[in-house]
Chain A
Amino acid sequence: MSDRRYPDAAADDFPAPPTEFTDREDRTVEIRPYGGSEAAYESLVEMYDAFDPSDRAQGIPPGGEKRIREWLDAILDDDCYNVIAWCGDQVAGHATLVPDGDAYELAIFVHQEYQRAGIGTHLIRGLLGHGQAEGVEKVWLTVERWNRAAVSLYKKIGFETSNAESFELEMGLRLNEDEEDGTDEDDEG
């Protein structure tokens, strides 16, 4: 699990939240880091409770409020980075980086009412900007290979496929250069 591969070069700079934009449905959407307030937490629970089960990926988000809360408690922990897309006081989408050894695992969810409006792109860029500012070096994710919309979004962002041998594609992105040394010239090709 620790031999994941990442692009050699660090990605360009992503905008650190808070940021605001108008989506393709003319809604004002604000991207903000999750600050730990109870109101934000409950709004997240509400979004996931209303989440279309057909948009689940590899078992998340879980179904049912109790399991949603357990899952959120784990991924909203202090060592994780979380960013929320707000439309007024409603959560339109949520993206998260969860630590995994020397890297972070990424996931992003946009509520079905807010999909296909450009929010996912802003949200993931906001999350990566937040992670970049906090010094995160490496990010990986898995995506079901039939999920073309997601795969093309990740590619557009700069993710490169690191493992295509399973049901799911694994992709990696380097956010910041290695801190320890620059001699990361291992077995390329």
Chain B
Amino acid sequence: MGIFDGIISGFGVALTPMNLLFGFLGALIGTAIGVLPGLGPAATIALLLPITYSIPSPVPAVILMAGIYYGAMYGGSTTSILLNLPGEAASVVTCIDGYKMAQKGRAGAALGIAAIGSFIAGTVAVVGLTLFAPPIAEFALGFGPPEKFALALLGLLMAVTLSGDSTTKGLIIMVLGLLFGTVGIDPISGKSRFDFGVIELQSGFDFVTLAVGVFGVGEIFYNLEQQGAAEIVTTKVGQVFPKMTDWIKARMAILRGTLVGFFIGIIPGGGAVIASLVSYAVEKKVSKHPEEFGQGAIEGVAGPESANNAASSASFIPLLTLGIPSNASIAMIFACLLIKGVTPGPFLIVEHADVFWGVIASMYIGNVMLIILNLPLVGIWVQLLRVPYSILAPVVILFTMIGSYSIANQAFDLYTLIAFGVLGYALRKLKFEAGPLPLAFILGPMIEGAMRQSLLMSGGSFAIFFTRPISMTIVALFALFVMGQIIVSVRRSSRCARVQKAA
């Protein structure tokens, strides 16, 4: 079946009332899940799996779950922008400029651009999926440990760009994040690190608990202290939708973010996070006003949000064409297909063409549904900020506690959340930019694991990073980026020295 015929038949499948209903349900639930911190799409999909048993065809089930998956991507940015609460790893970068925009009364613009960017990116990514899926998938397989090492290292470097003015402080935060990432059982040696006898620490910290604690709860603690007699400025709502100027600025950011997200998202594991990071760094580099970043630059929201949506759509490619799930949520969808007797893999497009094309068509439709769902909601979300802080603060804390608890059903996570909240508060007070922390936390284990795996593969030779084509390319990019940074900072300090001399 040619691509064109496939897509037409796919729409035929996806546009039946039952499948439309399931798609809508998935989008709705997914958005709700994304908005609620702690509740991830993977857990929700697992919960709803039994419901799909009674339906004979696998198509509605997969449509439902796929809807939940990228609905969560849309919803995750909402709390990032409004409350500095990242719903998942890929939304952390959105917090940085998104929350600042909300604080300046531009929450509506940020939410609007995030939704629109996500829609464009998601749709373009599905088109890419349609046209290029099999060859891209094979390319992704070529990413072994050395390549993953290089890519994650690149991502970490990009994370430094989030550190605001003081590079020293940014590096300290990054190192702290790396250290948090080492807590738990080291997969390569089997040793448990820094657990001090506490068995719950053997699995390490949970990302959501860390990010939500440091960003969200820490922010609340800080605000409570700052309030004093006066109320916080968050009551200033301002414009509900993006202005024309926002549009023009964000246009290119969305496009670049989509490309970055699509290509990085194809690689199994960590795709969306690194994609959002790279997008942010790229936007900052090409911007004519880089000092705006960190203060509420709309490109800092548009780029990463597009990138993470493109990445989540792209992550379906390894599943549908190779039968390899890239992350926990996709793994659940994979499980669902298996139980229904459909083996995802290279033969899926032949053996179960209706499933393959039906799912792809539903992704187009899903994106449309999500934008229809989310844009009007922007107005409602923004009203949320009008709720008095005396009610909002405890409710948000409750949400984060429940979310954290639901990860492993242990009270230990509640205490961890509070501890991270204290850390976040302290970092705010000490004028540290907390952005690099959760990112280093995620990237650290990737970098360390991939490096040690690579060295085992090569028998100890470091040449392996330079002799393979893909990793060599990434290392070269890395070197370029580092040199660029050094040149910029040397120029900046010499200019400053000249200014000071003249003064």
Do the two shown chains form a genuine complex with each other? no
Chain A residues proximal to chain B, CB less than 8 Å: none
